Structures are given as structure tokens and as C-alpha cells.
Structure 1
């Protein structure tokens, strides 16, 4: 069974089942295991001198280990591969978390704030309705790239080893890739490699969002707005989502009690956002997923 057909079954399985709570309350999720491994490496090796070199060696070791693990699992045939790929895709989980924010807002602002706090790292206590909605939509766009399109892309390119390597690098970036005093050196290699691995998927995600709405006639504007983002990749899907829904996202937000004045993406778009806009973003996620399914069908040996 080729990788496209395995991906097709995995996409459908993930869409149908998602992340079953009964399973992951009994056994650790593979991403959790990766996180524990990275946390242990951080504790053990992020000490003393030459932290940048140590971080580079750690990420190279993780890449080699995941490559070997992927080849071992693939040796046992297509069924384990389908299950692992479905587990490491996050389409249904992403939609559920994003939609929960819209559902919460329809109950109360407090419920919306609590729901969005589950998917963003910024301060949520003083957000208004538009802030909550904007944060959820940004998370939807960025995580469509990180959690669905990029894993699918790297599985098609490198099979299960490619997928596991991408996931461990992406997990490492989310844990040690920040430019804090502790991680600016040790996490440098993880952050740079994550940027590299997400370069094509981020732009592919933007293309899928644009193509399933108004076409790509706004591509030049999407490209310009993407440059406003501090990340070389995250701005692409966010900019495409903003243009697709004709809304302004990003903008000022607070981290650890400090307001940061980030520019708006698509600043001429609507800024008064609410649950209906979150619904539209969730629908956009499924549109991109549907195109990915069609692409997998076209690549499959039927």
C-alpha cells in the first residue's frame, strides 16, 4: 500500500474518531511521549557551556531516533502506519477545540475566554469578544499548517520516518524553541529546523485556504501580510485565513501581563468578530481537509 493511500485512510480515520479521550486517559499519546523525551533532554543537557552545540546534538539525536523508529514501525505493514498517521494528524481535534471557543462565546464571554485559553498562550483574562474570536481563528489557521498539512506533507515525502521526524522537531520547537534566556541557545537548532520543515507546508496551507474561498487572486496581498508576522511561516496561513473571511486578525495582545503591539493582518478587514466568524474558520479547516483528501485519492493507485 503506497503512502498516499495510507494517508487517505488515516485522514478519514482521524476525521471520524479524532482523539478518543478514553484511550489517551489510559495510555500516553505519542506526542506526550515525545514531549517527555524532550523535557528530559532539556533538564539533563541544557546546562553549563556550549548550549547551542548541545541543543544541536540533541535535536540530531531525536531526528535519527524518530527515523529509525518510523522504519521499524513501517516494517510491520500498512495497518500500524495508518493508525500512527491518524493519531498524529489533528484535524478533528483542531476543529473541536476551535469550535468550542465559538460555542463558549455563545454562552458567555467567560466561557469563551476559558475555551480559548486551552489553545493559545497569550493572556485571556481581559479579552473581549473580538479578541477571543480573533485568537481562536489565528490558532485555527496556524495549527492547520502545523497539525494537519505539514504532517501529511512530510508523510508523503518521507513516509512514517518523515512524519515522526517532523512531529518531534515541531514538538521540540514548541517546548524549547523560544528566545528566552534559558532556551535561546539550547533551542536554537530546534527552532531553525522547525522553520525549515514548515517552509513549504505553511505556504501550501495558505494556498489551500485561498483556493477554497476566493481563489488565489489575493495571493500578492497574502504574501505581503505574511511578512508582518514574526514567524517566517505562521503568517502565511493566518494571512490567507484573514483574506478568506475578510477579517483583521493578529494585532495587539498581552503575554505575561505585558501588552505587545503586533500589527494587524489584513488591517482593512472587519475587526468586530464573534462566534459566526469562528464557525466560518472551522468550515475553512474542513475545506482544506477535503482538498487534501482529494489529492490523496488522485495519488492513490486505484
Structure 2
């Protein structure tokens, strides 16, 4: 296993290099000149050129990339075009709110969805199964922006139970209770999709597992239903479900752009939108690389979880 993990980590190096090249090319192919946003409307060509020089945009693209890469290898992701502050502290300050929001969402969703999927599978064909399946389709189909605006109107504007956005009250230091109070609505919006999606997958997997021969054998031997469910059913059903969890983990960093915008959540998703509007290339490059690293680590973690859940899986 150690050799396998080391091999995967070494393989990730050229992958990250290719991703950084692709991200750099795409960012710089975007129409418009970032220098136009940071000069006065009636700026002279000399002033625009001086701004380009200050931003490091006066050099050829290969030189710009190699400069960025050399700094990135030393842990320096450059300076933001808009604020002139180092990118790394900005990224860390926005990463914590995003991990808080998405971590709470995924944890809450899995706690709710996995039992619902098991119940739906055990009650297959009954009104309970129909209700849960129908609710899952609604949860997957409803747009985040529509649900978010609806919850804000009902629970914030009309009832006044929850704040309309942000992570804390203006002018106050956000404590645990304040953060939890602000988390309720955005977590509810995001959880609607994740609960519905995981419930459907868990239901389908459990139905497939219940049809396996070893489940019939355990039932014929007279084992209690609870024992069959916990020792045989859930453990084998978790193998394909782990794949879904692996695709959800990168969202811990990527965040939910639409939901963060609606609730003015100070995370990476909102930072990405601001960086796109301001053509802040260093911020965009940093967010892209960070997302790529998380995706690669999530894939590695999924492979390790496969071996933990199913002892038959060996990595030589």
C-alpha cells in the first residue's frame, strides 16, 4: 500500500504541471486586458503600459508562466491584481469558510441520506419508497438559486428567523453559535441536492446487494435481519457509494458558487466570481491548482477506502 500511495503521489506531479499549463493558457486567452480595469478611464498608453509592467503582463506568455511556476514551487502564488496582497493568505482566509460550509453540508447530507436509502430499499414498492424516491427527484431537480431565494424570502424576510447572508453579524465577532445560525439556510439549500442524490444511489445499491446469493444464504441460515443488514448489506453497499463520496470531496474546496453568491458567503466560490469579473489571474490560477490538488487527493483517498471496506482489494 505504501508503494502504491507513493507511486500515485509521484504520478500527480506531471498531472498538476499539465493542469497549471492548461489553466494558464485558458486564463490568458480570455478576452480583455486586465490592465484596463486598474487604470483611470482616460489613461494614456504610457500609463496603461506602466500598469501592465507593474502587473507582470508585459512579458511573453512562456516567461510569465515560468515566473509563476518558479514562485509557486517556493510557496509563493503571487499577488492579487485587485488588492496587491499576497494570494496565499487570501486563499486561506476564504478556504476556511468554504470548508466549514461544504463540510457541514456533506456530513449532514450523509447522516440523513444513507439511512433514507436503506429504508427505501427495504420498503421497495411501498408508499414509503415512493415518497422517498419522489422526494429525491425533487431534490435533484430544484435549482439552488430558486430554493435559496425562496428560503430567504420565507425564513429571513417574512419570519425573520435566520440572517439573509454572511458568516456573522456586521461589526460583531462570529462565535460558534453565530456561525451555526448563519449556516442553517445555505446548508439547507446545498443539502437538498446531496441528500437526494445519495439517497438514490444508496437505495439502488442496497437493492442490488439484497439480491445477492450471500444475502439469501444468510437469510436461509436464520440470521437476524439486523445482523444481515449491518454485517453483510451495508458494508458491501458502501463500496460503490464511496465513489460518489469521492466525487463530493473536491467540492469541500471548490465550494458552491451559486449558493455562496446568494447568501454572500465569504468562501472560495464567491472569490472565484470576483476574480473572474476583475480578471485577477493570480487568484484564478491559485484556485484552479488548489482544486486540482484536492481532486487528486480525493481520488487517492477513495482507493484507500476501497481497500479498507473490502479486504479483497489489494494494491501491489
TM over 0.5: no
TM-score w.r.t. structure 2 length?
A: 0.25
**More helix by proportion, 1 or 2?**
2
Which has the bigger relative contact order, CA under 8 A and spacing at least 6?
2
TM-score w.r.t. structure 1 length?
A: 0.26
Whichever of the two has the greater Rg, that structure is 2
